[in-house]
């Protein structure tokens, strides 16, 4: 069989066409890659019983529990965009009183930026963008909506960082500026350390 093989010589046009097909195939393969794949480390059910801490000049410092759920969302055939469902529920660790809910979606846009859209039971809807590595997600508030009767102060700036500390330990830090505090820059607002339970 080997004896019968003959070396094919390519014309310049055939070689040029073959190289272009290989290059285009590479681009198509890259485009088909799942943009959320690099954020798989954040997926799961994360729970913090006693490690949540809130501090702000206008409220007493307190501790809380929180459950964070980040899981695959169904993909719409119409849009083809893949998202993670995102939800967070916080409670007082002493009284078990409900404190805060947040629901939304996490995705990666065509430019490679992470995007988090949330709506909370405090009357806020947020749109955050940022960047990520294999162990950290950094988000910055880009847009915010607020119902007129919300008791919380209007938020002017917000930064949120998720860091995978250990394979089953996730930390979330929030820094922000409201209409009254601080006059410039950001203040630490919340730190939570979760353990992965699922």
pLDDT tens digits for 51-84? Answer: 888 888 888 888 999 999 999 999 888 888 899 9
114 contacts: CB under 8 Å, gap ≥ 6: 39, 106, 107, 108, 129, 130, 131, 132, 137, 139
Instruction: Return the minimum-mean-pLDDT range out of 101-105, 142-146, 163-167, 194-198.
Output: 142-146
CA distance 89 to 103: 9
**C-alpha Rg value of the chain to the nearest Å:** 23
Task: Parse the chain into domains and list their residue ranges.
Answer: 37-196
Query: Quick one: how far is CA 36 from the chain centroid?
Result: 10
pLDDT tens readout for residues 116-165: 999 999 889 999 999 999 999 999 999 999 888 887 778 889 999 999 99
Phi, psi of 58, rounded to the nearest 5 degrees: -100, 0
Question: 3-class SS at 134?
Answer: coil
Q: Between 127 and 14, where is the model more confident?
A: 127
Sequence-separated (6 or more) residues with CB below 8 Å from residue 35: 82, 107, 108, 110, 112
Q: What is the pTM of this model?
A: 0.80
If one compares 198 and 17, the residue with the highest pLDDT of the two is 198
The answer regarding whether domain 37-196 maps to CATH 3.30.70.2190 reads: no
CA separation, residue 198 to residues 45, 71, 93, 104, 134 (Å): 5, 10, 21, 19, 19
């Amino acid at each position: 069989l080997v004896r019968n093989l003959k070396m094919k010589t390519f014309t310049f046009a055939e070689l040029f066409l073959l190289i272009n097909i290989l290059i285009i195939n590479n681009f198509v393969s890259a485009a088909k890659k799942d943009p959320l794949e690099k954020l798989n480390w954040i997926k799961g059910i994360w729970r913090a019983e006693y490690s949540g801490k809130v501090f702000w000049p206008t409220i007493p410092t307190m501790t809380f529990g929180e459950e964070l759920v980040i899981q695959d969302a169904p993909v719409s055939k119409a849009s083809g965009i893949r998202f993670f469902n995102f939800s967070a529920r916080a409670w007082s660790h002493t009284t078990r009183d409900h404190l805060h809910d947040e629901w939304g979606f996490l995705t990666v846009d065509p430019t490679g930026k992470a995007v988090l859209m949330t709506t909370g039971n405090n009357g806020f809807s947020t749109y955050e963008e940022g960047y990520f590595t294999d162990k950290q997600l950094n988000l910055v508030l880009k847009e915010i909506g607020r119902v007129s009767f919300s008791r919380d102060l209007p938020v002017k700036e917000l930064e949120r960082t998720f860091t995978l500390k250990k394979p089953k330990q996730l930390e979330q830090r929030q820094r922000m500026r409201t209409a009254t505090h601080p006059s410039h820059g950001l203040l630490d607002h919340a730190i939570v350390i979760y353990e992965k339970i699922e």
